[in-house]
């Protein structure tokens, strides 16, 4: 699990993860009972952790100390992490126009940089960085099989294994 640039406020437990391998980079916590709650930190990496008005920063539970303090910071840039997870894409809207075209919007998420998003084999245009929002204008798929298929590829070469496919009703 990789958690980057996260802010948590007015929380009971700011971070509680049972994942065996975790990278937390730039976490800000404000007004919480516990910062890190009962998380096994043996194979975790923490960097740039800031806690304000947090009663217990690192509650280990069990037989450990009541408040172990913040874990040792390690810069994630010094690690050799492999991006082996493909992106995930969702089609959020399909809007037909009077000229026989459709405007398709969607979103894509990945743990690294997204290289491209394709819709029915054509490349979409990024509206926000990293294809967090994208669009494409293409021929109306209802003239054919009516399917819209969107998938992404990230900079590491991982291609989405399960494309988002929607079937539009025939005209």
Q: Where are the domains of the chain?
A: 2-78, 88-167
pLDDT in tens, 61-96: 555 545 555 566 677 667 766 788 899 999 999 998
Measured between alpha carbons, how far is residue 85 from residues 2, 35, 102, 156, 164 in Å?
12, 28, 31, 9, 16
Confirm if 91 and 164 have CB atoms less than 8 A apart.
yes
The pLDDT of residue 127:
97
pLDDT in tens, 14-67: 888 878 788 888 889 999 988 888 777 777 888 888 889 988 877 665 555 455
CATH for 88-167 (3.10.290.10, 2.60.40.10, 2.40.40.20, 3.40.50.300): 2.60.40.10
The model scores a pTM over 0.75: no
Burial 96-118 (b: 16+ CB within 10 A, else e): eeeeeebebbbbbebbbebbbbb
């Amino acid at each position: 699990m990789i958690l980057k640039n996260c802010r948590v406020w007015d929380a009971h437990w700011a971070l509680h993860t049972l994942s065996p391998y975790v990278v937390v980079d730039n976490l800000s916590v404000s007004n919480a009972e516990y910062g890190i709650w009962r998380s096994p930190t043996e194979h975790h990496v923490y960097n740039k952790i800031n806690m304000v008005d947090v009663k217990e920063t690192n509650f280990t539970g069990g037989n450990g100390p009541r408040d172990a303090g913040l874990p040792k910071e390690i810069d994630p840039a010094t690690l050799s992490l492999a991006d082996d997870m493909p992106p995930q894409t969702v089609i959020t809207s399909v809007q037909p126009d009077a000229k026989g075209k459709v405007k398709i919007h969607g979103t894509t998420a990945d743990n690294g940089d997204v290289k491209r998003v394709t819709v029915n084999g054509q490349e979409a245009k990024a509206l926000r960085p990293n294809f967090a929002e994208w669009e494409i204008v293409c021929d109306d798929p209802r003239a054919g099989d009516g399917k819209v298929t969107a998938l992404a590829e990230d900079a590491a070469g991982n291609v989405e294994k399960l494309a988002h496919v929607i079937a539009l009703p025939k005209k």
